[in-house]
Amino acid sequence: MGSAAKRRLGDIFVERGIISDEQLREALEQQRETGGKLGEVLVELGFITRVGLAGVISEQWDELRVSQSGRKTAETEARRAASKGSSVVEVALRERLEALTAELADRDRRIAQQEATIAALLERPGPAAA
């Protein structure tokens, strides 16, 4: 197995036994149809949780950042984090959690707007049935 940063998201979930090959194929098909992100499709289909998705994305992001910036930068960040009482992983997870929290808040806002629109449409008197 390679690092998480170099592996595809769906492959990581299959390798960990979280989803099956068949579930991955179904999600990829839906992704092609909708143009959505694979992780979000997997969540919408109920194959994974948002927490599981966040964990794998955070792992990928952290490994990618370390591999791109090199060991020296990672060691510098580790020293900085340690001086603040946090590990590099904790800092990375906290940053990813903040980004996901903002994204979820935005989605919740959009859903609330859609629900209000639907409720208003349902309250409208429709054409009389013949």
The pLDDT tens digits for 72-119 are 555 666 666 656 666 777 777 878 887 887 787 778 778 878 888 888
Nearest Cα to Cα of residue 2 among 15, 18, 17: 15
**Reported confidence tier of residue 28, pLDDT bands at 50, 70, 90:** very high
pTM exceeds 0.75:
no
Q: String of b and e for 32-53 (b: at least 16 CB within 10 Å)?
A: eeeeeebbbbbbeeebbeeebb
Q: What number is the average pLDDT over the span 9-33?
A: 92
The residue among 84 and 62 whose pLDDT is bigger is 62
Q: Confidence band (pLDDT; 50, 70, 90) for 46?
A: very high
Cβ neighbours of residue 96 closer than 8 Å, sequence gap 6 or more: 54, 57, 58, 61
Phi, psi of 43 (to 5 degrees): -70, -45
- The more confident residue out of 114 and 128 is 114
Residues in the chain: 130
